[in-house]
Structure 1
Amino acid sequence: MKPRPSIYIPELESFIDSTLVYKPNSVFSEMENYAKEKNIPIVTAATGAVLSHLLSLLKPNQVLELGTGLGYSTLWMATGSPGSQFVTVDRHEAQAALLDEYAKKMGIWEQIHVKRVTASVMEYLEEQTEEWKNSDLFFVDCDKITYLDIFRILWRSANPGACFLFDNMLWHGRVLQPDPKKPSDLAVMALWDEVKSQVSHYTLYPVGDGLLFFQKDKK
């Protein structure tokens, strides 16, 4: 995986993640090093800390995460709200299984509640609606090309009051000049258009690669 540009000035993001972000467990740094070595995309440490903080305030009963990676964001969220139930979906079983090992290293394996599902995200959403539709919070960090379809499925079926988080909404700065030949650029911009037309209020956290938060209106 070739390096992707940061939205920050050179060296600032790495300084934030290595020096300024409070990490409640040293295993997070171990996971960051492993992800860099193996070219596994994960959220930044700063994004993880924001996720943890938001969940500590929202305290959702059930969280659906689309895109497990190696469990880095899952464990940040679980640290923020250890009482929540997490369902995390990814098609790469061997990679996602590292979540279990890292949770054990952290000493929180017995305290958190995580169900890993090995499946295509789109297939899971279409076939397992009864399992996920009552989730209180959705965190989406998977193939950007699927973002618009995912939004439409979740927005239609989620309960009023459900919260949503989408990562990579600044798409490495390419929202400034999206390349019409890149499907991922077009998909991110299409999601922005959909959110701005469908969602009454939203907040962009300019952390990492852009973390978008919004909520489905309560009836």
Structure 2
Amino acid sequence: MKPRPSIYIEGLEPFIDSELVYKPNSVFSEMETYAKEKNIPIVSAATGAVLSQLVSFLKPKTILELGTGLGYSTLWMVLGSKSSKITTVDRHEEQAKALESYAKKMKLESQMDVTRVTGSVLEYLEEDRLWKDIDFFFVDCDKITYPTIFRTLWPKIKPGACIVYDNVLWHGRVLQPDPKKPSDMAVMELWNEVKSQVSEYTLFPMGDGLLFFRK
């Protein structure tokens, strides 16, 4: 598997995720192992724990997740707020349907309200009736879509709605972005949009960087 650079000194991030993060269910470790074997990107355990804590405090009625992956972050949010209705969107059907099997292993299938949508994130967002009343957005999809997603959501979401982006430190490449890499430029463009339009925001520098702000 191609290694993903960490924003931490060598060895620290794996130590944090394996030794310091409380995992409420052992299936999370199973998902992490599978993701590593199959080279499937998922949030770090520390990121999942903070995401779970955020929704446990905020108790959003509705959550829209853009980028399902294996359902790893979805299940962290489920455990943080089982009363939330979650819609998660991803174009990779075979990969994303693992969410159901892992939820079953966790014995969560009867305790959660999660709807999976297979398709393009940007195409889904074209219908603003589907998301303009959402309380909490978690964005963890193709990085080149990040600025477009911000420009689509920010003018139309309701006051009080929250947006969280993952990978905003982009493996440390925000320090020296490569102008030849569209993903680098997209992450930097997102930062420029947020800093120019959002009055308050919080960076959680765990995993690959988690950015939180509220309308």
TM bucket (normalised to shorter chain) is: over 0.9
Q: Distance in 1 between matches of 2:145 and 2:52?
A: 25
2:32 pairs with 1:32: yes
Q: Which residue of 2 aligns with 1:199?
A: 198
Which residue in 2 is equivalent to 1:108? 108
- How many residues of Structure 1 are paired with residues of Structure 2 in the alignment? 215
1:141 shift after superposition: 0.2
Residues 176-191 of structure 1 mapped to structure 2, 5 A cutoff: 176-191=175-190
Match of 1:146 in 2: 145
Q: Where has structure 1 moved over 3 Å in runs of 4 or more? A: none
Q: Secondary structure at the match of 2:174?
A: coil
Tell me how far apart the structure 2 counterparts of residues 165 and 153 of structure 1 sit (CA, whole Å).
Answer: 14
Matched, 1:119 2:108: no
- Name the SS of the counterpart of 2:155 in structure 1: helix
Residues 156-189 of structure 1, C-alpha deviations (whole Å, 9 max, x = no match): 2110110010000000000000000000000000
Identify unmatched segments of 5+ residues in structure 2. none
Amino acid at match of 1:11: G
2: distance between equivalents of 1:125 and 1:164? 14
Q: Matched residues in 2 for 1:129 and 1:60: separation?
A: 19
SS at match of 2:51: helix
Structure 2 CA distance for aligned equivalents of residues 176 and 135 of structure 1 = 33
Which consecutive residues of structure 1, in runs of 5 or more, have no partner in the other structure?
A: none
Sequence identity, in percent? Answer: 73
SS of 2:154 mapped into structure 1:
helix
Residue 2 (structure 1) shift: 2.1
Q: 1:150: how far off? A: 0.3
Query: Aligned-pair RMSD on alpha carbons?
Result: 0.7
- Secondary structure at 1:204 match in 2: strand
Aligned position for 1:57? 57
TM-score (norm 1): 0.97
SS in structure 2 at match of 1:157:
coil
Distance, in Å, in 1 between the alignment partners of 2:158 and 2:46 is: 29
